[in-house]
Amino acid sequence: MSRKETCEPKIRRVSDGFSHCFFGYYDKCPWDQSNRYLLSHSILGAQLPSEDTLATIGYCDAEAGNEFIPLTTTDSWNWQQGSMLQWLENCSEKKILFNRTTPQGYGTVLFDIDSNEERLYGRPLAAASPQGDFIVSYNYGRLAVTHSAIGYFGHPVDCDLEFCPANDGLFFLDLETGKEVLFFSYKDASIFSPEDSMSEATHWFSHAAVNPSGGRVLFLHRWSECVTDENQWFHRLMTISPDGSDVKVLQSSEYPLLAGQTNDVWTYEYEKNVNQISHPVWLDDNHILAWSTRNGRSRYHRYSDRSADVEEIGGHILRENGHFTCSPNKKWLLTDTYPDPDDFKRGLLLFDMETEEVTRLGDFFADPSLTKDARCDLHPR
């Protein structure tokens, strides 16, 4: 296993630079099937999401000088994940999905780029199936309290949360019929292989993803007695079938991140902490890659959804948490790092899964004045 020298890739700006342009989360692809259109949010100023803050949704056209074409707006967004903007997969037409505030809460919009027609569903998008037939949903209003960096603020935030409600959690929503079904509640999570730390804790879900065949869903189950202090969060990586069957816990943290510390820490203290479970992605139908700690060693780990097999990936060279995606042939892993506290630069790394060599593609400055909820990490793809 070795490290290659830093290379100097060609870098070109796509957006016009007059506004903040970003796509969203690391596990979704901004390009359409032709690689011509690049989806983006556009926001004026580094303002925090609120009831009054709109993000413009549009795309850059590679065959028209990367001109940004605005389509519509949304008030359901955050700097890390945007509005969960993404292309509708397995569709011959140019259709996109994103979230928007509704009178009842938050919902998913299915938007046709050619006709400007849209359909609004009653639940917000967390993950879409690769077949384009259903989405998985959870409560972004709850996330506004428990994990504000990925919550929505289109409605006043209700901080008085029930610990583990039985009528809320993971929902299955059929995109053709609009039918929605609660298939795993917060209550279900709290009593499935329960741990001592769960009984008086507030529970929430995040980071859902559907496997390639559409038959399994991964997600993070988190809980804490003090949701405002990320260092007191507990984590589990779980999988489930969309009908609510075959629930599994692939990994659980046995302790909070930094027990006893206050929340007065550097912005990236939590993200760089070794004891969390984060950023899971499906490698194929049966395997998941995630950053986690096993036997006191925090690294990238490959989990099997069908057995107890766990394999450390790049353990001697990939030592920092990041946002990672894999190439279609699974040869390459592209990831980033969080900013270094000395120079505030984030690394962009390309890891060869076969030779276990890593190439540092570059380093990119992160403005240290940006708060935890007003920043967007590299999220390479």
pLDDT given for residue 308 in this prediction:
93
CB distance 140 to 197 below 8 Å: no
Question: Would you say residue 358 lies in a domain?
Answer: no
CB distance 285 to 212 below 8 Å: yes
Q: Which helix (H) or strand (E) holds 287?
A: strand 287-294
Count the Cβ atoms, other than its own, within 10 Å of residue 114: 8
pLDDT given for residue 265 in this prediction:
39
Question: Would you say residue 380 lies in a domain?
Answer: no
pLDDT given for residue 375 in this prediction:
76
Question: Would you say residue 175 lies in a domain?
Answer: yes
CA distance 293 to 143: 24
pLDDT given for residue 141 in this prediction:
96
Q: Which helix (H) or strand (E) holds 141?
A: helix 140-146
Token readout for 68 is 């940004």
Question: Would you say residue 229 lies in a domain?
Answer: yes
pLDDT given for residue 237 in this prediction:
98
Pairing label, strands 2-4, 357-365? parallel
Residue with tokens 């006709």: 115
Q: How many residues does the chain have?
A: 381
Question: Would you say residue 370 lies in a domain?
Answer: no
Token readout for 253 is 């943290």
**pLDDT tens sequence for the chain (381 residues):** 455 556 666 777 777 766 788 888 889 999 999 999 999 999 887 788 888 899 999 999 999 888 899 999 999 999 999 999 999 998 888 999 999 999 989 999 999 999 999 999 999 999 999 999 999 999 999 999 999 999 999 999 999 999 999 999 999 999 999 999 999 999 999 999 999 999 999 999 999 999 999 999 999 999 999 999 888 999 999 999 999 999 999 999 866 655 444 444 344 555 555 568 999 999 999 999 999 988 888 899 999 999 999 999 998 889 888 889 999 999 999 998 888 888 888 889 999 999 999 999 988 888 887 777 777 787 788
Token readout for 366 is 């992160």
pLDDT given for residue 266 in this prediction:
42
CA distance 296 to 316: 15
Question: Would you say residue 173 lies in a domain?
Answer: yes
**In the chain, how many domains are there?**
1
Question: Would you say residue 146 lies in a domain?
Answer: yes
| DSSP secondary structure code for residue 131 in this structure | T
Question: Would you say residue 14 lies in a domain?
Answer: no
Angstrom distances, CA of residue 11 to CA of 150, 352, 359: 28, 21, 16
- Say which CATH number the domain at 249 has: 2.130.10
Angstrom distances, CA of residue 134 to CA of 105, 125, 179, 214, 323: 20, 10, 10, 9, 25
- What's the Rg (C-alpha) of the chain? 20
Q: Which pLDDT tens digit goes with each residue over 5-48?
A: 566 667 777 777 667 888 888 899 999 999 999 999 998 877 88
CB distance 293 to 311 below 8 Å: no
Show the domain range for 122: 24-324
